[in-house]
Amino acid sequence: MEIYVYWFLLALILVGLEMATGTFYLLVVAFALAMGGSTSLLGFGMTTQYLIAALTGVVGTVILRRCKSARASDLSGQSLDTGQAVKVIIWRDDGTARVFYRGAEWDAELEDVNSKREGAQYIKAMRGSVLVIGNKK
């Protein structure tokens, strides 16, 4: 059997494994193996095949990592809790409160010190385990 067949078989195996993991890194390696197989099919030597496969793998991994980190930074400021109503149990003199949200009691602080304490309060942000609340949605 020709060497390019092994390259492509390994690439197909990694594509199958990728379907089980969903990380896309195995897909990058599978593409790199397919590029090595294509280089072999074109008649280049083993050194060139390894070089093309390695370069494709490194470049693909760098691109994938940058795409994932850019997407993660876009989502980092978003919270599913933002905008949800909370029930204030007690207000403290320092402007903080104890609120009931998602079946548990939480510490909360006002988004703006001059905000009204009356009426419904909504989550504006989270700082660690402290909810930042305000009276406007």
Long-range contacts of 19-27 (CB under 8 A, 24+ apart): 24/64, 25/61, 25/64
- Mean of pLDDT over the chain: 88
What are the tokens at 103?
């079946």
User: pLDDT value at position 10?
Assistant: 96
Give 4-25 pLDDT, tens digit per residue. 999 999 999 999 999 988 888 9
Phi/psi for 98 (5° steps) reads: -115, 125
Q: Does the pLDDT at position 70 exceed 90? A: no
- All domains of the chain, ordered by start, with CATH? 3-75 (no CATH), 85-134 (2.40.50)
User: Helix %, strand %, coil % for the chain, to 5?
Assistant: 50, 25, 30
